Structure 1
Amino acid sequence: MGKLLFWIVLIVLVLFVARIAGRMAAQRQADAKPGQKKTSRKEPPQPKPLESMVRCAHCGIHLPRSEALLQNGQTWCSADHARLGPAKR
């Protein structure tokens, strides 16, 4: 029983060392690629700037201002809704 436990522990240790060696080799290979900007994993991604939302005058859907169509002082989600005009509510 003692020999079996010894071999199991030894196999687990060998697999653990092989995994660490594989990760280190992959990291070295990624660092050695020319033309790529080196980035640290600890840097958080830059957040996107917040954009105001507007409401379509026809269907009422809210969408980012940069995607909206502005005509005659009103915002629309598409050219079709701008052509149809404001909804009768």
Structure 2
Amino acid sequence: MKFLLVTLVVAVAIWIWRRNRQEELDAAPPPRPAARPAVKGPQEMVRCVHCGLHLPASDAVSGRHGSYCSDLHRSAAEA
């Protein structure tokens, strides 16, 4: 009999807790979606004159004969 009474009390407590939790969720404003990072447009790609690697023009190193992927390749090709 005591087991039945304890089970009933626990069941009622869980029911009350869930009902209050649902009311809190209904009252809360919906979460805002996370801001998406801005997508940049396509970038111009250039080819390294020394090794043939393609890379964005903004990352390339300019030289006398064209664009290079690094200072080391520029100095090697122009030496």
Mapped partners of 1:62, 1:13: distance in 2: 60
Could you tell me which of 15, 32, 40 is aligned with 1:9?
Answer: 15
Which amino acid in 1 is paired with 2:76?
A: L
> SS state of the match for residue 62, structure 2?
strand
TM-score (normalizing by structure 1): 0.53
Mapped partners of 2:53, 2:19: distance in 1: 58
- Do the aligned partners of residues 13 and 55 (structure 1) sit closer, same or farther apart at CA in structure 2, a change above 3 Å counting? farther
2:77 aligns to what? 85
TM-score (normalizing by structure 2): 0.57
Structure 1 gap segments, 5+ residues each? 28-39
Could you tell me which of 53, 56, 63 is aligned with 1:61?
Answer: 53
How many residues align? The count is 70
Q: CA RMSD, aligned part only?
A: 3.3
Structure 2 gap segments, 5+ residues each? 1-6
Per-residue deviation, 1:45: 4.7
2:4 aligns to what? none
